[in-house]
Chains A and B, each alone.
Chain A
């Protein structure tokens, strides 16, 4: 049997004795497009960061393609939250995307011509060719997100982890991200995305992880995106979330879509 791209067993993470994730088990199939959904503070970003080995868990383990995490993360392209880097950093868009190519060169070697061609192609995919020589500070939020995405593409990884790529982006960027996700799926890449918007989750992903400290549910979107499970995910935390959850789940178009897909 082929090893799963991401396998998580009984993962527990806590910050200063407060648990953030508790006993999470997860097996992601190759080629799936997974959304992670849950209320604020549910541990969505923490889960991603633990997979990326940025946070050491208190218990449990993460396996990547059946092997250990340290080597495994070399096969992951990570798209962090936009705020995680300093956008005044003196590099151009092209420089940032070329950083993605260091995974494919020896770390003391110089970036070559073929790397530049790959980077150029990735820039085209996110529709940012005109901005190649711009300093990254002079970009809009959506453009910055697309730069991160192009950098991940340049890494040419087998797995992609993205932390809220849709947060606060413009319509063009949203479209670009969606089309790139479709491409990735076509190429058999495994993609895991932290997402905050219930209303769009249904159309973007094929699998869903409902997370609120514990794993509430994981599975194909049709089975998991139900009123009951969403309420369970958002309900335990605060009543506000529960309201949002039930409102989102009750939205007629989603209900209709669900019925359609069930039929």
Chain B
């Protein structure tokens, strides 16, 4: 048995696109990947510049009990109940962390570690208790973007609109883009200097909450594709990688778009070659791109720093 399957260019890069059925199937996977990377990349950019990358981790795990309770109450995976449950749990997670941090002697990182793991454990317990719900915990944890084309059809007033997962992430993506364009100013000012924002009458807390909601929503929409663990990679990798090449936030935000395409395209074909999980392969490609960026990036890359020192 060989560890790595033999690399065959036409098999890896051309075969997935050789028939119209395959193009349709794999096209949906790619589209899902693009939109997951873009949505998470934009939300993640704000999370990272606020030095809250770990909060992203916490919230993405913390929504699990909300999802589980929504499943149990509604008995189905309705979009509305999923989003509602996730938002409530996400905000509860955020409030619990802040409360512990301000009202006890716990530091923020310890509070975070406590809260999100307990939320997560609670969620996993609920899901595995109710095995009749037909939710595969593994799928929630790791996601399976390869099965996205199998997702049920979304029906609006009896009209079939097409793949539900794609619609979900598409709507969240549009919401995030519109929100970013309209509220760019408050988002940037509150991130950079919250005192200044407050003194100008910008609602600092509300902006923070909206960002946490956007985080919860994009996690839910990405869940089927990449799962709650790897979604953190989708939040953190694009802005961090882009920041090694670009100096301004607007360009970093735009930079997440090509990065999303490369991640998905690379990850998809890597998974096709190695016959592994596509979501994991996407995260591996993101890592492989991060390393040269960290070394060679003109904006703070390690080699550039050495050059300037000498």
A interface residues, Cβ below 8 angstroms from B: 52-54, 73-74, 76, 78, 80, 84-86, 88-92, 95-96, 99-100, 102-103, 105, 107-111, 135, 137, 151
| Other-chain contact of B49, A90, A102, A107 (Cβ < 8 Å) | A90
In the bound complex, CA of A151 to CA of B201 (Å) = 17
The one of A78, A102, A151 in contact with B202, judged by C-beta atoms closer than 8 angstroms, is A102
| Interface contact B195-A52, CB-CB below 8 Å | yes
A102-B202, A105-B185, A107-B186 are known; give 9 further A-B pairs, CB within 8 A: A85-B192, A90-B49, A90-B249, A92-B247, A100-B196, A110-B185, A135-B247, A135-B299, A137-B300
**B 182-210 to A, binary, CB cutoff 8 A, 1 in contact else 0:** 11011011011101101111100000000
CA distance A156 to B202 in the complex (A): 17
One of A76, A89, A96 near B199 (C-beta < 8 A): A76
A80 near B193 with CB under 8 A, answer yes
Residues of B in contact with A (beta carbons under 8 Å apart): 49, 51, 182-183, 185-186, 188-189, 191-193, 195-196, 198-202, 243, 246-249, 252, 299-300
- Do the beta carbons of A99 and B193 come within 8 Å of each other? yes
Bound CA span A38–B269, Å: 66
B residues less than 8 Å from A89 (CB atoms): 49, 191-192
A74 engages B248 (CB within 8 Å): no
| Of A78, A99, A110, the contact of B188 (CB 8 Å cutoff) | A99
Q: Is the CB of A78 within 8 A of B199?
A: yes
B245 shortest CB reach to chain A, Å: 11
Q: A100 — which chain B residues lie within 8 A by C-beta?
A: 196
B residues near A84, Cβ cutoff 8 Å:
193, 195
Chain A residues within an 8 Å CB radius of B246: 90
Contacts of A91 in B (CB 8 A): 188, 192, 248-249
- Shortest beta-carbon distance, B184 to chain A, in Å? 8
Given A107-B186, A108-B185, A135-B247, are A74 and B193 also a contact pair (CB < 8 Å)? Answer: no
B49–A53 touching, CB < 8 Å: no
Q: Collect the chain B residues with CB atoms within 8 Å of residue A74's CB.
A: 199-201
Residues in A neighbouring B193, C-beta threshold 8 A: 80, 84-85, 99
- Shortest Cβ distance from A255 into chain B, in angstroms? 39
Assess whether A108 is in contact with B183, with CB atoms less than 8 Å apart.
yes
Q: Are B185 and A54 in contact (CB under 8 A)?
A: no
The residues of A that contact B195 with a CB separation of less than 8 Å are: 52, 54, 78, 80, 84
Query: Who on chain B is nearest to A89 by CB?
Result: B192
Residue of B nearest to A104 (CB): B200
Output the least CB separation between B236 and chain A (Å): 15
- Cross-chain contact B192 with A107 (CB below 8 angstroms): no
A86 touches B189 (CB 8 A): no
CA distance A151 to B188 in the complex (A): 15
In whole angstroms, how far apart are the Cα atoms of A85 and B192 in the complex?
7
Question: In chain A, what residue has the closest Cβ to B194?
Answer: A54
Q: Tell me the complex Cα distance, A156–B189, Å.
A: 17
Bound-state Cα–Cα, A99 to B190, Å = 10
Q: Smallest CB-CB separation from A54: which chain B residue?
A: B195
Q: Contacting B51 at CB < 8 Å: which of A86, A95, A111?
A: A86
Once bound together, how far apart are the Cα atoms of A103 and B199, in whole Å? 8
By a CB distance below 8 angstroms, the chain B residues around A95 are 188, 248-249
Given known pairs A91-B188, A99-B193, A102-B185, the reply for A107 and B202 (CB within 8 Å) is yes
Q: Is the CB of A92 within 8 A of B248?
A: yes
A88, B183: Cα distance in complex, Å: 22
From residue B211, how far is it (CB to closest CB) to chain A in Å? 15
Instruction: Report the minimum CB–CB distance from A153 to chain B (whole Å).
Output: 13
Q: Which residue of B lies closest to A106 (CB)?
A: B185
Complex Cα gap A88–B49 (Å): 9
B198 in contact with A111 (CB, 8 Å): no
Assuming A54-B198, A76-B199, is B248 touching A108 (CB within 8 A)? no
Q: Are A111 and B299 in contact (CB under 8 A)?
A: no
